[in-house]
Amino acid sequence: MLHTSNYSLVLAIQFLLMIYDLLANSFSELIFTEPVIPLIMFIIQDIGILFNIIIIFLMFFNTFIFQAGLVKLLIHRFTGTIIVTGIYFVLSVSFHVWIQNLRWWDMRRYVWTAGLQALFVFQRFGGRGYRFGKVLLKTSRCCFILLLLQKNYPLPWRPSII
């Protein structure tokens, strides 16, 4: 079960991963001196996004709502967050593979195609939605419990502290 001390540790890890993602997106175009440096940075960024997806689902599995069998309610409530995070992961991996494929052999040459620019824009906008969805997920947890209590769902549990 996820207790308060564990939850703050998970929250801190998620914020650190999101800050790294933001910094990697901000400074990825400035460190193209050697082809291995952006490759390692992109791999760490994609693994961080994947860890955030895993953490989201682990937090779902540790809720009383999931354990009570109301999975449909959880999925309905957080569908947007799950979809935006998945789309952002796919866009990030696609962008990283494409940019590394174009710039691997000659880092000094500037290569920027129209398709790469479109993917860049979509990946950056997806990043905004991804970070907004993560913050929204954290702040809406308490409101979601209050909503369940107000609608009088037949739950076998009642939270002691809200």
pLDDT tens-digit readout, 31-64: 777 888 889 999 999 999 999 889 888 887 877 7
The encoded tokens of residue 7 equal 């939850």
**Residue 119 or residue 129, greater confidence:** 119
- Residue 42's nearest CA partner among 52, 32, 57 is 32
The encoded tokens of residue 97 equal 């593979």
The encoded tokens of residue 159 equal 């939270």
pLDDT of residue 50: 93
| 64, burial (CB in 10 Å: exposed 0-12, middle 13-18, buried 19+) | middle
Query: How high is the mean pLDDT of the chain?
Result: 77
Q: How far is 7 from 104, CA to CA, in rounded Å?
A: 41
